[in-house]
Structure 1
Amino acid sequence: MNDLIDDPTPGGNAPEFSVSEISGAVKRTIEGAFGRIRVRGEVGRVFKARSGHLYYDIKDDNNVLACTTWKGQAARLSVVPEEGMEVIVTGKLTAFGAQSKYNMNVDEVEVAGEGALMAMLEKRKKALAAEGLFAPERKQALPFLPEVIGVVTSPSGAVIRDILHRLRDRFPRKVLIWPVAVQGKECAPQVANAINGFNAFTPGGALPRPDLIIVARGGGSIEDLWGFNEEIVARAAAASSIPLISAVGHETDTTLIDFVSDKRAPTPTAAAELAVPVRMELMGWMEDQNARLFRAAKDGIARRDQRLADVARALPRPAQLVDQQRQRLDQWEARLAPALRSVASRKEVQLAQRAAHLRPQVLQQMVGVKRERLNNVLQRFESASKSQVARLRDRLDGLERMRQTLGYTETLKRGYAVVRAGDQVVTTKAQAAKAGALEIEFADGKLSTGGKPVKRKTPKPAPPEQGSLL
C-alpha cells in the first residue's frame, strides 16, 4: 500500500521548464551576477563580419572567453584588437541561448601595459616596412618657400601657437589649421581625415591647397601619443601627395607617422623652422648674391676693357691703312685717262678696217649670189611638188577603179539582182513572203512586183574638188 502512495522517482514533483525559460534564466543570472566587468587576456582569433561586427577571443593559459563588439561599438574603439595583443576589455557578460553559449559584449579595448603597446608597435612597423612605406626613395623634397602651410593639430594647445609664432618670426606664410583631437580614440581617424582632406583640395579653389602639411602634437606618454601609431594615420601620411612633416612629441618620442612622413621634426617649433627659411637671412643672402653679381659684372667689363686695349696696341694705326689705299687710288686715277684714250684709238682703227669692206659692189654681189641660190631652191621645190601630186593622182585613180570593181553595180552586170522591200534588202524567202511589195534592181533598171519598170535615180553630182595650189 505504501508503494502505491510513495513517488518511486525522486524529484518527480519538480516543476518543468522549457528550453527558452532555462536559457532566459541563465542569461539573467549571468548578466545580474557580473554586471559591467573588465577582463585581461591575450587576443586570439579575430573575425570581422561584412556587417561590421567584430568577433574575437580573449584567452589565458587555460580558458577562452568569446567576445563580440557590434558595428556601432567598433567605430568607437580606441584600440582595434589584433591577434596576439595583450588587452584589457570592458563590457558585459551575456548568454546566447540559441547555441547554449555565453560571451562578453565588449565596448572598450585597452592595451595591457607599455610592453604590449611596444610589441604591437613593432609588429606594425615591420608590416609597413615590408610594404616599402619607409623607403627613402618614396619621400618627397620639401618646398623651399611654400605659399600655404596646412597644420593638423589641436586648435587650443600651445603647439599651434608655437608654430604660428615661429613662422611669423622666420617668414610669414598663409596657414590653414585643421583641428583634430591629438589623443584618445578620436585622434587616429581625425588625423587621417585631415591629411586626406588637405590632399583633396582643388588647386586654385575657394580654399587654397597647401604646399606643405605639418602634423604636430606636444609630448606625452606612449598612451597619449598612440593615435599617431595607428595604421590608418601611417597609411594616410604615406599616401599624401603633399610633402608632410611629422612633429609629434619631443625629440626622444618616436611614433609610426615619423617613419612614413617626408621629414621628421624633433619638436613642433623645429617643424616650423624646417618649413620656411629665415626671411632676414634670405634677404641678406639675396643682397650678398646681388653684390657678388655686380662685382663679377664690373670685374668682367674691366678685364674685357684691358684685353681690348692690349689687342688695340698690336693693330696698325687707321691712318696707315687708309694712306696705302689712297696712294693706290691716285695711281689708278693717273692711269685711267691714258688708258681710255688708248682704247678709243684701237676701237677707231678697228671700225675703219671693218668699214673698208662695206662697198656697194660687194653688197650687190652678195645679194646676187643669195638670190641665185634661192631660185635654185624654189625650182627644186616646184619640181618635187609636181612629181608628188602626179603620184598621188595616179594612186587615187587606182583606188577609184578598185572601188568600182568591188561595188555591187559591177555584180549586177554579171547577172545578179537586188531585192528590196521598201528601204530594206530582202535576203530570204520568209522576208519576201512578209513584204507587201517587192522591188528588184537589175543592171539595166528596177522592177516592182507589179512589173512596172522603175526609173533609175540619177545620183547627185559630187561637189567640185578644191583646186590644187600647186
Structure 2
Amino acid sequence: MSDSPASNDSALSVSELASSLKRMIETSYDHVVVRGELGRVTIAKSGHMYADLKDDKAVLNTVMWKGQVDRLPFRPEEGLEVIATGRLSTYEGRSAYQMIAATMRPAGAGALMQLLEERKKKLAAEGLFDPKHKKKLPYLPRTIGVVTSPTGAVIRDILHRIRERFPVRVIVWPALVQGEQAAAQVTAGIRGFNAMTGPDRPDVLIVARGGGSIEDLWPFNEEIVVRAAFESEIPLISAVGHETDTTLIDYVSDRRAPTPTGAAEMAVPVRTELLLGVEENGQRLKRALTRTLARASDKLSAARLPRPENLLQPARQRLDFAAANLPRAALALTQKARVKLSRLQLSPALLKSEIRQGRQRLRDIAVRARPALDRLINRQKTALDAQGKLLETLSYQATLKRGYSIVRSPEGKLIRSAETAAAAEEFRISFADGDVIAVPAGSGGPPRNKSAPRKGEQGNLF
C-alpha cells in the first residue's frame, strides 16, 4: 500500500531530521556545565579525547579536541570526578547525543588529593619510595643536567646560583612543566639524559619548576614521571614548587630541594669555602709537622749513647768471677781424678773397663754436646762481633773519621779551649789518618820538638 501524495510532500528524510535535532540541541544547550565521574577515557592518535561522563543513573558521551586536551592541567583518568564545560551536540552517524567539552577540571582539590593519595599508596607498595634505592650525590660534578622550561625565572635562578657557587657545565633539556604534554616531556628529559654517553653525560640531574596550584604541579604526580625518576641511573634532585609543595617525584628522587635555587646549592659546593678549607688544612699540616719534628728533636737530644766501658762492665765482671773460681774448680777436679785413679790402680781389669766406659761416655757426650756447643760458639761469636762493631762505632777513632780532631799538649793532656791552646808553646792535633804538630798563631817560631812526625803527620800548620 503506497502513501498518499500529501504524506509524501510532508515527510522528512533521516538526515534532515538529524540535522534539525542537532541545530535545536546545540542552540538550546550551547553552554552547559556538567559534573560527573570519568568512565572510559581514550586519547586517540590524533590527540582528541573520548570519554564517558557518568553518575549513578546516566552516561554522557564526551569529546574534547586536541587543542583543549593539550591545555589540561592534569591527566584525565577513569574514576576521577570532574567538572566539564562545553556544549551539547549529536553524532549523526550513531544517532547519539554527546558533549563537546571545552574545559575540564577536577571536581575540587579534594578529588585530586584523593587520587594523589591512592597513587602514592600504590607506588609506595611497589617500593619506589624506599630509602635504600636513593643514590648519593657527587661532591664535585663536572656536568649538571636540568629538565625544566628554557624560559622563565627557574632556569635563570639555577644558572645564577651555580655560577656564583662553583661554575660547572650545565645542559638544559627543554620541557613543558605544565599541561597535558608536560609529563611526557619531563619523562623524555630524564630518560634522554640517562641515555647519553661520553663526557657530555651529566653527573647529576635537576628536575625543576616554580610554584603553583595542585593542578599546575600535577604533571609531577604522573606515574610515568615518577617511574622515570626511579629508574634514573644518574642521581636526581627534585625542585618542584615552593617549600610547602609536595609532589610524588619528591618521594622518589634522591634528594628533594625546597626551591630550584636550593637544588643548585645541593648540586655544587662553594668554591671559596673549598679554597679556604684547603688553605686551613695546609696550615694545620704544617703546624703538625713542626710539632712532630720538635718532639723528635727533643727525644733525640734526651737520648744519650752509653759509654763503651759501661757496655763491657758486665762481661768483665763475669770474667772476674770465673777467674776467681777457676783455681778451686781445678783443684777439686784434680783431687777427684786422683781418687778415681787410685781406685783403678787396684785392678787392671777394672781399669780397662773404666777406660772403655769413660771413652764411650766421652763419645756420647761429644755427640750430644756438639750441636749445642756449635750454637753456643756461634752465639758468642755473633755477640762478640756486635760488641766489637758497637765499640768501633763509639770509639774516638770513628769520631775522628767523621771530621773531628783531638788537640793534646806535648805531655798528652787534652786541650779543651782556645785559651789553653794559645798559652801552649806547641801542641799535637790528632786526625783520623795521623797527627800533626802545631804552634799557636802569632808565636813567631816553629815547634821546638824536631822529632819526625808519626805516619800521616805533617809539618807545622802555623
Into which bin does the TM-score normalised by the smaller protein fall? 0.5 to 0.7
C-alpha separation in 2, matches of 1:283 and 1:34: 72
1:169 alignment partner in structure 2: 164
Report deviation, 1:112: 2.2
C-alpha separation in 2, matches of 1:236 and 1:158: 25
Match of 1:142 among 137, 151, 156: 137
Q: Point out the more displaced range, 23-32 or 55-64.
A: 23-32
Structure 1 residue 39 corresponds to structure 2 residue 34: yes
1:195 alignment partner in structure 2: 190
Q: Once the two structures are superposed, what CA deviation does each residue of 1:296-321 show, in whole Å capped at 9, x if it has no partner?
A: 33333444444555566358599971
Where in structure 2 are the equivalents of 1:79-158 lying within 5 Å?
79-97=74-92, 99-106=94-101, 108-158=103-153
1:285 alignment partner in structure 2: 277
2:144, 2:203 within 8 Å by CA — same for their partners in 1? yes
Unaligned runs of 5+ in 1: 1-8, 326-470
Aligned partner of 1:188: which letter?
A
Q: Secondary structure at 2:104's aligned position in 1?
A: strand
Q: Point out the more displaced range, 13-22 or 257-266.
A: 13-22
Q: Secondary structure at 1:237's aligned position in 2?
A: helix
Q: Secondary structure at 1:245's aligned position in 2?
A: strand
C-alpha separation in 1, matches of 2:390 and 2:177: 90
Instruction: Calculate the aligned-residue CA RMSD, in Å.
Output: 3.5
Report deviation, 1:31: 3.8
C-alpha separation in 2, matches of 1:22 and 1:315: 133
2:73, 2:215 within 8 Å by CA — same for their partners in 1? no
Higher Cα Rg, which structure: 1
Aligned partner of 2:145: which letter?
G
Structure 1 residue 245 corresponds to structure 2 residue 240: no
C-alpha separation in 1, matches of 2:10 and 2:178: 56
C-alpha separation in 2, matches of 1:29 and 1:91: 16
Q: Secondary structure at 1:178's aligned position in 2?
A: strand
Q: Secondary structure at 2:171's aligned position in 1?
A: strand
1:63 alignment partner in structure 2: 58
Unaligned runs of 5+ in 2: 310-387, 396-462
C-alpha separation in 1, matches of 2:226 and 2:214: 16
- Structure 2 vs 1, CA of residues 71 and 319 (structure 1 numbering), >3 Å: closer, same or farther? closer
1:149, 1:173 within 8 Å by CA — same for their partners in 2? yes
- Structure 2 vs 1, CA of residues 324 and 178 (structure 1 numbering), >3 Å: closer, same or farther? closer
Report deviation, 1:144: 0.4
TM-score w.r.t. length of structure 2? 0.59
Q: Secondary structure at 1:190's aligned position in 2?
A: helix
C-alpha separation in 1, matches of 2:196 and 2:259: 27
Aligned partner of 1:322: which letter?
E
C-alpha separation in 1, matches of 2:389 and 2:128: 80
Where in structure 2 are the equivalents of 1:16-415 lying within 5 Å?
16-17=11-12, 19=14, 22-35=17-30, 37-46=32-41, 55-68=50-63, 77-97=72-92, 99-106=94-101, 108-204=103-199, 208-308=200-300, 313-314=305-306, 316=308, 321-322=391-392
- Structure 2 vs 1, CA of residues 315 and 238 (structure 1 numbering), >3 Å: closer, same or farther? farther
1:77, 1:107 within 8 Å by CA — same for their partners in 2? no
Report deviation, 1:76: 6.2
Report deviation, 1:141: 0.7
1:450 alignment partner in structure 2: none
Q: Point out the more displaced range, 212-221 or 257-266.
A: 212-221
Q: Secondary structure at 1:313's aligned position in 2?
A: coil
- Structure 2 vs 1, CA of residues 312 and 17 (structure 1 numbering), >3 Å: closer, same or farther? farther
1:246, 1:264 within 8 Å by CA — same for their partners in 2? yes
Give aligned pairs, total: 314
Q: Secondary structure at 1:110's aligned position in 2?
A: strand
Q: Once the two structures are superposed, what CA deviation does each residue of 1:9-55 show, in whole Å capped at 9, x if it has no partner?
A: 9x978844555554454444434443464422122344678998755
- Structure 2 vs 1, CA of residues 52 and 173 (structure 1 numbering), >3 Å: closer, same or farther? closer
Identity %: 57
C-alpha separation in 2, matches of 1:125 and 1:21: 52
Q: Secondary structure at 1:284's aligned position in 2?
A: helix
C-alpha separation in 1, matches of 2:88 and 2:306: 109
Q: Point out the more displaced range, 244-253 or 147-156.
A: 147-156
- Structure 2 vs 1, CA of residues 90 and 323 (structure 1 numbering), >3 Å: closer, same or farther? closer
1:189, 1:232 within 8 Å by CA — same for their partners in 2? yes
- Structure 2 vs 1, CA of residues 261 and 45 (structure 1 numbering), >3 Å: closer, same or farther? same
TM-score w.r.t. length of structure 1? 0.58
2:35, 2:82 within 8 Å by CA — same for their partners in 1? yes
1:46, 1:82 within 8 Å by CA — same for their partners in 2? yes
